[in-house]
Amino acid sequence: MEKQRLFTGLQPSGDLHIGNYFGALKPFLDLYPKYESFLMVADYHSLTSLRDPDTLQRNILNVVRDYMAVGVDPEEVVIFRQSDNPDHTELAWVLNCMVTVPFLQQGHAYKDKVAKGLEPNVGLFTYPILQAADIVLYDTDVVPVGEDQRQHLEYTREAVGKFNRAYKETLKEPETVIVEGVGIVPGTDGQKMSKSYGNVIPLFGESNEIEKAVMSIVTDSEGNIPENVLAIHKLFRDEDELLSLYEKNAGKYGELKKILSADINSFIEPLKAKRARITDSEVREVLAEGARKAKEVSQSVMERVRDTIGINLN
């Protein structure tokens, strides 16, 4: 039986944090063997907030190294860069012509980021449509997302539906696979962990960096159990075991944070060792092969689109 196709991606906008791991990487690790899987480095998406070319280049190499370090096998998954395939931006333009400005203005992510002080540039505004193009360009069947990202897939399905109704049934509407319990990983301030909020715990940070981040977790001085600390700790230990530990150390916030820091470091150390062995040249080879495989799929989809809209001359 032929496998369904799965697609996901992650921006190279900075060093990965544990929110990226539990919110995107781990769900992908659990799912990808069941599908024909595509994993995209969303480097064009990162331009909405990152304006440093040297940093971007370093981040691109590092994010692929990170994927490989946590267990993604490039022999089993197509790992590629968005910018290595111009079909993404071409299809995004076509889909931009299908949707309205009021429709995009409803975007939760756009409104939230602008409220947090991010510049409301056009790329940020139309981000959901480039994301839609990323997904449907590979005849994607399923996209794994957390509950907080459900709207992104709704945008994709809406854009595809409008295209298919305007012309003919050409693009596949993907299904959403909601990954329960991992969509929103809390940051050190209790909000969703995000680089743009400055509330992250680095995935591959040095032990002192991780400890510093953990010690900065905001706690409720009125309670005996620091809920923000516990919410993060549940990612690394069994909840029943933790409840006993937290009751035993009730009110000892500093002690509980030290235990959390040690648990995170213990989890990360073998991943860091594997990551250190992956060279830049290996990463470049993976991306080159991934781009070749990705284009084989996307070019046939774009030919269908060009035929449908009349760009291809008979």
- What's the rounded Cα separation, in Å, for the pair 97 and 211? 48
Active site residues: 113, 192, 195
Beta bridge partners of 5: 36
Q: CA distances (Å), 308 to each of 6, 129, 272, 303, in order?
A: 25, 19, 48, 8
**Contact between residue 95 and residue 163 where contact means Cβ atoms under 8 Å apart:** yes
Taking residue 11's Cβ as centre, other Cβ atoms within 10 Å add up to: 22
Q: In what helix (H) or strand (E) does residue 87 lie, and over which residues does it extend?
A: helix 87-96
**Contact between residue 63 and residue 72 where contact means Cβ atoms under 8 Å apart:** no
The residue type found at 249 is N
- The structure tokens listed for 46 are 């990162």
